Amino acid sequence: MVAEARRAGAAPQLVCPAGSLRALQVAVDAGADAVYLGLKDATNARNFAGLNFDDAQLRTGIRYAHTRGRQVLMALNTYADAHDDSAWQRAVDRAAELGADALIVADVAVMAYARRQHPELRLHLSVQASATTWEAIEFYRQRYGIRRAVLPRVLTLSQVQHTIAHTEAEIEVFGFGSLCVMVEGRCALSAYATGQSPNTAGMCSPPSAVRWEESAAGVEARLGGVLIDRYAPDEPRGYPTLCKGRFEVGGQRDYAIEEPTSLNTLALLPQLIEAGVSAIKIEGRQRSPSYVAEVTRVWRHAIDAAASGARYSVQPGWNAMLGRWAEGQQQTLGAYDRPWR
């Protein structure tokens, strides 16, 4: 039976990224209901140097959030090493010991360990688990006690509505941030180019595989030796990911797989609330504290307005602010705006 609060169209929780202690603090201060973060190792899918939390920072961050009535969700959303899963088990233990409010998990071995050793610890199904149907979500709920599932960014609004109507788990969707057209958890592009899977290494483009090279034709971006883009001297350069490279196809050089653009679902917020979405997630643990603060502030205002019962409309200032932080200075509704159903 679907939770009564979800059917009533309750305001969704605003879940914001924290790649650092400072980002956590500004997210909380700007109105996030919860922040999500990871440890400084391969147990999380944003395993970049200079990001993430050690034990002392995690303890401080949890205390900061909890004293202000907010939650901390810890991402253990990569797949454990089959030869040695001790790092993932230690991460589960640390989350429980330090008081994290939930774990965001993808690997069934990690779920099983958490449920066995810390049955009181709330589990959320990561987008990395690639659960795109209510049947898959119900399997994880019934077998491993998952309380919430984060949907991949490839479903239409009607598919999201159908999923919510058929599962007892809470549903979380992405509201803003870098768009991924792949079904997360199933992407093999980076592994093909670098030999390191984003599902285990914790990043789409490992820095060790990234090369910038000057050439007569411009600045070339390579990933694992594969040329994925070429920039003119004054052209803005994004961090190279294979899916957002420009390639020559049929004699035309363009973004063959995905353009650099950000998902922005402000226009659909009333429909998402009416559908019973339990949480709106902002992407961007790799982004700056300024990004986190400004995007959180916009979404706090928007959710409050949409849930107030008054007539809702997207304020021009909201989109203008988000446009400053959009990837490639472009925004899209992504799969929600597909013309076919």
Task: Provide the residue ranges of all domains of the chain, joining segments of one domain with +.
Answer: 4-179+261-337, 190-255
Q: What is the 3-class SS of 205-259, one letter each residue?
A: CCHHHEEEEEECCEEEEEECCEEEEEECCCCCCCCCCHHHCEEEECCEEEECCCC
What pLDDT, in 10s, does the model give residues 174-200?
999 988 776 777 777 888 888 887 777
The reported pTM is 0.90
The rounded percent of the chain whose pLDDT value lies above 90 is 64
The DSSP 8-state label assigned to residue 166 in this structure reads: T
In sequence order, the 6+-apart residues with CB closer than 8 A to the CB of 334 are 153, 179, 181, 263
Q: Give every strand in the sheet of 218-223, ordered side by side.
A: 210-215, 218-223, 226-231
Place of tokens 């109105």: 31
The rounded percent of the chain whose pLDDT value lies above 70 is 95
| pLDDT at 329 exceeding the cut of 80 | no
Determine the Cα–Cα distance for residues 62 and 164; give it in Å rounded to an integer.
30
pLDDT at residue 9 in the model: 67
Under 8 Å between Cβ of 17 and 284: yes
Q: Give Cα 205 to chain centroid, integer Å.
A: 16
List the end-to-end C-alpha distance of the chain, in Å, as a whole number: 27
* pLDDT range class, residue 129, cuts 50, 70, 90: very high
Window from 37-41, 63-67, 146-150, 206-210 with minimum mean pLDDT? 206-210
CATH number of 4-179+261-337: 3.20.20.70
| pLDDT at 221 exceeding the cut of 70 | yes
pLDDT at residue 338 in the model: 67
- Which residue in 261, 207, 220 sits closest to 49, CA to CA? 207
- 3-state class (DSSP) for residue 104: strand
* pLDDT range class, residue 339, cuts 50, 70, 90: low
- Mean pLDDT throughout 49-63? 94
The DSSP 8-state label assigned to residue 188 in this structure reads: -
In sequence order, the 6+-apart residues with CB closer than 8 A to the CB of 120 are 96
pLDDT at residue 179 in the model: 80
pLDDT at residue 203 in the model: 74
| Rg from Cα positions in the chain | 20
Q: Are strands 252-255 and 246-249 parallel, antiparallel or unpaired?
A: antiparallel
* pLDDT range class, residue 37, cuts 50, 70, 90: very high
248 or 38, greater pLDDT: 38
Under 8 Å between Cβ of 69 and 56: no
